[in-house]
Amino acid sequence: MKKSLKDLAPIVIPHGPPVESTAEYYKSLMETSRMVKKYPKWDVARPTPQVLMEQARRDLMEADEKLALKRNEEEANRNTMDAKWQDLREKEMLLKDSFISFNKFIRENQEKRDRAERKMAADNEVLERKTRETEAMRQRVAEMEEVKQLMEKQVHDYTIYEDYLMSVVHNYPEFKQPLDVLNRYEALAAAKSTLAERQERDLEMLETARQEIAALTEEKKLFIMGLNNTLADLRWRYDNVRNRVIKWELALNRLKETAAKKQVELCHVRSAIWSLYVKICKQKGLALDVRSDDFEQQLVVIMRALLELRRIYRLALRRSKERYAESTEASEK
């Protein structure tokens, strides 16, 4: 079979004295000894360059399809990430609104509590004033009782002394007769009855006021207990909201850290793609006609270069095996 020189790899002849090429010679012998000796199968058709080209084209099409799938997957991931970010922003706004309404409710509750405390203080002052008035009235009643007892004792002691009363009438011109003394006694008794009735009315008013104050105190106690229950419920709701806020803040921080790591990895990958693209263009003598942000086209160029290198490697390997087989056959002959 006649072989064309253009299908063979160029032969590199070292320049310089042979002594300097001794290391390379022994290195090539060692690599040849380690090479897997696989003799060609003569009953299997060998692939032609057109078949190899078709295989390379097929590999390129498969790589393009995988790249398109990766691009679609990246677009879907980007849309999902944008939707999650939008959802987090909406939840953040809702949380801010709930905090504002909760603060407003707390202020209103505090104002109501202050008003209730002021009213309770006023009621306590009224109760203390009524208590002082009642105590003063009791002292006055006690004094009147003492006066009554004293007067009764005096009347009892001096009723048998008619002569003395007469002498009193004679000595005091305002009394014309002893009956005037009795009239004076009746007047004092009437005053006593009036005072007793007034005392009874005052005591009834005091009892009514005491009952009203007790009812008002019980009502205020129940109202305060209701406010305490409401305050405990609000504290429980506040703790739940605070725990939820802490939970979502931690989730947001983890999401930000993950996004930052992914962004750093993406930047490293893009930088590596650009460096590899520039190196390939320089080695092949191509112009840098792809923008630095067009990573898809850079990957296409890199993939094509890798496919070409793989095809060249396989072709060189096959040629070296054929040459080795021919040299073996020639030595056997």
Question: Does any domain span residue 35?
Answer: no
Q: What is the dihedral of CA 283, 286, 291, 296, to 10 degrees?
A: -70
pLDDT for residue 201 is more than 60: yes
Residue type, 97: D
Separation of alpha carbons 206 and 213, rounded Å? 10
Question: Does any domain span residue 24?
Answer: no
pLDDT for residue 224 is more than 70: yes
pLDDT for residue 135 is more than 70: yes
Question: Does any domain span residue 330?
Answer: no
Question: Does any domain span residue 105?
Answer: yes
Question: Does any domain span residue 34?
Answer: no
Question: Does any domain span residue 268?
Answer: yes
Burial of 11 (C-beta count, 10 Å sphere; 0-12/13-18/19+):
exposed
Q: Which DSSP state fits 21? A: G
Backbone angles phi, psi at 325, to 5 degrees: -65, -40
Question: Does any domain span residue 333?
Answer: no
Percentage above 90 pLDDT, the chain = 16
Return the pLDDT at 151: 80
Domain count, the chain: 1
Using pLDDT thresholds of 50, 70 and 90, give the confidence band for residue 306. Answer: confident
21 or 291, greater pLDDT: 291
Structural domain including 193 reads 46-322
Question: Does any domain span residue 40?
Answer: no
